[in-house]
Amino acid sequence: MSQRSQWKSSTGFILASAGSAIGLGALWKFPYMAGMFGGGAFLFMFLAFTILVGLPLLIMEFAVGQLGRTYTTELFGQLTGRKWLNGIAWIGNLAVFVLFSFYSVIGGWIIVYFGFVLAQLFHIVPTHLHDLQFQAIISQPLYVVTGQAIFIALTCGIVMRGMQQGLEKASKLMMPLLLVFLIIIVVKTLSLDGAMDGVRFLFQPRVSEINMESMLFALGQSFFALSLGTTGMMTYASYASTDMPIKTSALTILIMNIAIAILAGLAIFPALETFGYQAKEGPGLLFIILPLVFEKIQFGTLFYAIFLVLFLFAALTSSISLLELNVSNFTRNNNRKRPTMALIISLAVFIVGVPATLSFGPLSHIQFGAGSIFDNMDFVFSNILLPIGALASTLAIGYAMEKVRLKTGFGNDPLKLFAIWYIFIRYILPVVILLVFILQLV
Ligand code: PHE
């Protein structure tokens, strides 16, 4: 018997989808990518892709999920009348599996950092925030693998117990608090010496930094940050009733996501000069810079500990959407299988994820393709599976658009927004995604 869950209110749906979107993508990955690919140039491309490609795609995932009200490996076939197109959803399943495996690496780092900061706070270790040695910490297998295991276990625990309704109350508190904390940090960094150089770095687009590679990374980042291309957002929308406002939800999420990414950038780049770091620091950027900034604030250790909890929460509300997608496709609307499936998938994620964690330590000598094991997993996910998944979904849904239009009543708006959206989904997005994807190969 099917016992499909549902969001109880529009707020619940918006909070959950915003929770899925806002996570490591905006907070951790955006600043580090912007640092690697030219600051303002990257921000500019990221904004362009997020608005022109991301928004139509997000509305599409929402519309189709809400319309189909089923797991994605049935949805595509149902919508198009062609069962083989369900294969598209399997790309998404694979994608989020890979993502969860390396997402949990960073989730683990947050937990390990939190452990250290707590120990400092209670004077168990007589060190200061500036003693947190990023490289030394993440190369310690015992710490990071334990952190990763805890992160996956927390995610699994939440998903096992059914849809993430319980998180609604927590989200209402944690998300605004995260915003407040980011603003406090930004106010601090902007007061540091040489802050304006950092601000200029983030906002001034230097055309010379725009190339095919950085474009592909910017496209991947805009998908990553909005949880697009994996059908994850379709899954969340499939738990939404037909009266939930998907267009405004999509817009809200988009704006919040951009705001958080820019704040994260502003929390870091203006501080670089003061602490003598380069923007190209890589994945450690946030973990290296923020403790130093917090140290300059009164009660910094306490605030940093609170910030890490908020950061962890943001990461968890994203990772549960990663696990949820696979769980929903393996339980096929039967909630009784949920705990077992969540457990099995989490275990598999852990097994695949451990080498990625160790690639910052004992396995760091293994370098190929895009770099370390971790880099390669990220590359395969962000730059290959996401674009391909997004391309395939736009083609399939573009094909079934008449059905979408009739059932969603999208065509009746006076502004003719549907027509514009239709042209984007059917013609513009597939061409843009394909172009960026192919051009980086040659
Ligand atoms: N958007 C999430 C983040 O930025 C990651 C994610 C991608 C979640 C795809 C679900 C699906 O952290």
How high is the pLDDT of residue 423? Answer: 87
Give the confidence band of 2 by pLDDT, cuts at 50, 70, 90: very low
Centre of ligand 1 from the C-alpha of residue 410, in Å: 27
How confident is the model over 165-191, as a mean pLDDT? Answer: 85
Average pLDDT over residues 277-292: 91
CB 54 within 8 A of CB 253: no
Furthest-apart CA pair in the chain: how many Å? 66
pLDDT of residue 47: 97
> Ligand 1: does its nearest atom lie under 6 Å from the Cβ of 382?
no
Q: Is the pLDDT of residue 442 over 60?
A: yes
Rounded mean pLDDT, 399-422: 73
Lowest-pLDDT choice from 79-93, 227-241, 407-421: 407-421
User: With bands split at pLDDT 50, 70 and 90, how would you rate the model's confidence at 415?
Assistant: low
Kindly give the distance from the C-alpha atom of residue 117 to the centroid of ligand 1, in angstroms, as a whole number: 26
State the average pLDDT over residues 120-128. Answer: 86
* Both tokens assigned to 299: 């009660």
Report the C-alpha gap between 428 and 422 in whole angstroms: 9
Residue from 227, 234, 382 whose mutation best tests the ligand 1 pocket (most atoms within 8 A of CB): 227
For residues 162 and 53, which has the higher predicted lDDT (pLDDT)?
Answer: 53
Q: Which of 109, 219, 257, 318 for mutating ligand 1's site (highest number of atoms within 8 Å of CB)?
A: 318
Question: Measured between alpha carbons, how far is 115 from 244 in angstroms, rounded to an integer?
Answer: 40
Helix 429-441 to helix 386-399 angle, to the nearest 10 degrees?
150
pLDDT at 78: 87
pLDDT tens digits for range 359-385: 999 999 999 988 999 999 998 998 889
Angstrom distances, CA of residue 160 to CA of 278, 297, 353 = 42, 39, 20
Taking the C-alpha atoms of residue 261 and residue 224, their distance in angstroms, rounded to an integer, is: 12
The lowest-confidence range among 125-134, 165-174, 221-230 is 165-174
Residue 164 has pLDDT above 80, yes or no: no
| 320 Cβ below 6 A of ligand 1 | no
Q: Is 24 close to ligand 1, i.e. is its CB under 6 Å away?
A: yes
Name the residue among 95, 54, 56, 49 with its Cα closest to residue 72. 95
CB 274 less than 6 A from any atom of ligand 1: no
The pLDDT value given to residue 361 = 93
What pLDDT does residue 35 have?
A: 96
Q: What average pLDDT does this structure show over 406-421?
A: 71
> 95 C-alpha vs ligand 1 centroid, how far in Å?
11
pLDDT of residue 403: 75
Tokens of 70: 């089923």
Q: How far is the CA of 236 from the centre of ligand 1 (A)?
A: 12
Query: From ligand 1's centre to the CA of 380, what distance in Å?
Result: 15
Q: Which atom of ligand 1 lies at the shortest distance from residue 25's CA?
A: 4
Decide: pTM greater than 0.75. Answer: yes
Q: Does residue 23 line the site of ligand 1, with CB under 6 A? A: yes
CA dist., res. 326 & res. 328, Å (int)? 5
- Between the two ends of the chain, the Cα-to-Cα distance in Å is 51
Q: What mean pLDDT is predicted for residues 325-332?
A: 88
